[in-house]
Homo-oligomer: A and B are copies of this chain.
Amino acid sequence: MLKNTLFFKTTKFENIRSYANRINDEFESGDIGYYHLIDTSLKLIDESKEFIKDKEYIKNIILVGMGGSSCGVKALKDLLFNQSTSLKNLYIIDNTSSSILMEILECIDIKESLFLITSKTGNTIEVISIFKIIIGYFNLKLNELQDYFIFITDKDSNLHKQAKDLNIKTFFIPNNVGGRFSILSAVGIVPFCFCGYDAKDLLNGARACFEDFFIHKKDEILQKAYHYCTHKNANINVLFSYNDIFRGFNEWYIQLIAESLGKKQGYKRIGLTPIALIGARDQHSFLQLIMDGPKNKTITFLKIKNLKNSPIIPDINFKFLDSSSNNIKLQELLNAQCDATMHALISENLSVDLIEIEYLDPWHIGYLMYYYELFTSACGIMLGINTYDQPGVEVGKLILKNILNSR
């Protein structure tokens, strides 16, 4: 179960009915592919398992990808990969800064490694550059690349064309699935399966969210989107996630919201600004600003109700030190801190909601990620923008080409 409690005033359903219809139209049109990945990705699970099953010698899976090609997988890794023991290590290379890249290359044995080169467009300069550095570092010949690399990209992209030239196995992202909505496509499913996890549970969780929204007509997502899009003073949206393991998820959330909802529309500039925090840590950092600073923020609290393996704080009493947390689980202290902070913000009349995850498992994370994708689509419709493009990043790419070509 995933429970979402809204602590702000909701609106009458008639005010959001038209938006509900439009998101339904968007789903039924088939133009936006991510809605349908809960079905279309099923056979991908079999394809991934089939590919990896006789490759027990592979100990390291190294994903190379930027933005939508890595954020979601990072989220899955941080949340789920420590829980049980995978037979393979997953490394993620998502930047052109060199220290992490070189550390990874130095610690792996190429004979036990498989690189997933992921780029939807097939043209991402960071990914292509790192691909070449890997080839150079291990002194690989072009005719042996097929042993160490697979590509994940759109059909007929330049990366796909190159794959055919080099005889490299390629998994495809559907053309109508945007990068930041691609976690349930090959981008996420392939590494998840390669590392031995059950991607069916992930899809089942997402399907449950789909059904709650489209079939059972639960309206929290639409209500929250409506509040965010009409509460003009509060256009900064804080996600306060209580546990370090939400770090990757926070990055994914920021990419999803910022790139989807920051858009020009004629002469107007529209956008919600996402901020993601980790509790309890950032109570000692950002909380002061939320409590006493301008009321330009909404806040979503995110917590896990039941977490395995949390240690108990021992019943040791020191003369001068606080004993109020003695004898409880550390996770209980963390969740009590979440509740306390939430109620402090509610008492300041800030817009707050709470997402509670019953257990930490692929089903719940599939639900959570689909929840945020639907939420983003709903906001996009309410703001009247194109949620699925990213025209603003092209100028910088052109300037970069000029800089590099003028060398």
With contact pairs A264-B292, A340-B399, A393-B291 given, residues A330 and B129 touching in the complex (Cβ less than 8 Å): yes
A321 lies within 8 A of B289 (CB):
no
CA distance A358 to B401 in the complex (A): 25
With contact pairs A244-B100, A288-B390, A289-B262 given, residues A125 and B324 touching in the complex (Cβ less than 8 Å): yes
Pick the residue among B71, B322, B396 that contacts A123 (CB under 8 A).
B322
B313 lies within 8 A of A242 (CB):
no
The verdict on A108 contacting chain B, using a C-beta distance below 8 Å, is no
A281 lies within 8 A of B245 (CB):
no
- What secondary structure prevails in chain A residues at the interface with B? helix
CA distance A259 to B291 in the complex (A): 10
Pick the residue among B132, B271, B407 that contacts A294 (CB under 8 A).
B271
The verdict on A397 contacting chain B, using a C-beta distance below 8 Å, is yes
A328 lies within 8 A of B407 (CB):
yes
Q: How many positions in chain A have a CB within 8 Å of any CB in the partner chain?
A: 113
Residues of B with C-beta under 8 A to A330:
96-98, 101, 129, 133
With contact pairs A67-B284, A320-B158, A324-B405 given, residues A129 and B313 touching in the complex (Cβ less than 8 Å): yes
Stretch touching chain B among A8-16, A303-311, A371-379: A303-311
Among A236, A285, A320, max chain B CB count under 10 A is at A285
B269 lies within 8 A of A295 (CB):
yes
Known: A67-B281, A68-B284, A95-B280. 14 other contacts (CB 8 A): A94-B281, A97-B243, A98-B330, A98-B334, A125-B324, A135-B316, A158-B320, A158-B321, A159-B320, A235-B296, A262-B291, A269-B292, A271-B292, A340-B403
